[in-house]
Amino acid sequence: MKSYIRYSYILLSITLLLTSCVSKKKILYLQDLDQIVENPANTNYNISIKANDLLTINISAVNPEAVLPFNQPIVARASTNGNVQGAQQLQTYLVNVDGTIEFPLVGTINIAGLTRSEATIKVKELVSEYVKDPIVNIRILNFKVSVLGEVASPGTFNLQDERITILEALGLAGDMTIFGDRSNVKIIREVDGVKTYGELDFTSSTIINSPFYYLQQNDVVIVSPNKAQVQSSSFNRNTSVFISVAGIIISVISVLTRI
Please give the Cα distance from 92 to 226 (Å, whole number). 43
Specify the pLDDT at position 50.
92
Q: Residues 98-123: what's their mean pLDDT?
A: 95
Q: Are residues 86 and 205 in the same domain?
A: no
Q: Is the pLDDT of residue 121 over 60?
A: yes
Q: Are residues 111 and 149 in the same domain?
A: no
Q: What is the CATH number of the domain that holds 180?
A: 3.10.560.10
Q: Are residues 111 and 150 in the same domain?
A: no
Q: Report which secondary-structure segment, H or E, holds 2.
A: helix 2-20
Q: What are the φ/ψ torsions at residue 158 (nearest 5 degrees)?
A: -85, 135
Q: Is the pLDDT of residue 124 over 90?
A: yes
C-alpha separations of 73 from 9, 57, 179, 227 in Å: 76, 11, 49, 54
Structure confidence by residue, pLDDT tens digits, 192-231:
778 899 999 999 888 888 889 999 999 999 999 987 665 6
Specify the pLDDT at position 73.
73
Q: Are residues 62 and 124 in the same domain?
A: yes
Q: Is the pLDDT of residue 86 over 60?
A: no
Q: Are residues 191 and 249 in the same domain?
A: no
- What is the four-CA torsion angle of 148, 171, 208, 121, rounded to 10 degrees? 90
- Domain boundary, last residue among 96, 113, 140: 140
- Domain boundary, last residue among 79, 111, 140: 140
Lowest mean pLDDT among 15-19, 93-97, 121-125, 188-192: 15-19
In whole angstroms, how large is the CA radius of gyration of the chain?
29
Q: Are residues 208 and 245 in the same domain?
A: no
Please give the Cα distance from 137 to 120 (Å, whole number). 7
Q: Are residues 172 and 237 in the same domain?
A: no
C-alpha separations of 257 from 4, 128, 245, 247, 254 in Å: 12, 96, 18, 15, 5
Q: What share of the chain is helix, strand, coil (3-state, %, to 5)?
A: 30, 30, 35
Structure confidence by residue, pLDDT tens digits, 135-167:
999 999 999 999 999 999 999 999 988 889 999
Give the rounded percent of residues in the chain with a pLDDT score beyond 70. Answer: 66
Please state, rounded to an integer, the average pLDDT across all residues of the chain: 80
C-alpha separations of 192 from 100, 135, 217 in Å: 14, 29, 13
Structure confidence by residue, pLDDT tens digits, 51-75:
999 999 999 999 989 999 998 776 5
Q: Residues 35-44: what's their mean pLDDT?
A: 58
Task: Spell out the residues 6+ positions from residue 204 whose beta carbon is closer than 8 angstroms to its own.
Answer: 30, 31, 32
Q: Are residues 209 and 193 in the same domain?
A: yes
Specify the pLDDT at position 169.
95
Q: Are residues 119 and 78 in the same domain?
A: yes
Q: Are residues 136 and 60 in the same domain?
A: yes
Residue 194: which domain range?
Answer: 31-45+143-225
Q: Is the pLDDT of residue 85 over 80?
A: no
- Provide the domain count of the chain: 3
Q: Are residues 38 and 148 in the same domain?
A: yes
- pLDDT band of residue 78 (cuts 50, 70, 90) is low
Please give the Cα distance from 111 to 99 (Å, whole number). 6
Please give the Cα distance from 124 to 198 (Å, whole number). 36
Q: Are residues 59 and 125 in the same domain?
A: yes
Report the half-sphere exposure of 232 (CA within 13 A, side-chain side).
11
Specify the pLDDT at position 242.
60
Which of 70, 72, 74, 73 is CA-nearest to residue 126?
70
Q: Is the pLDDT of residue 34 over 90?
A: no
Q: What is the CATH number of the domain that holds 136?
A: 3.30.1950.10
Count CB neighbours of 99 within 10 A: 17
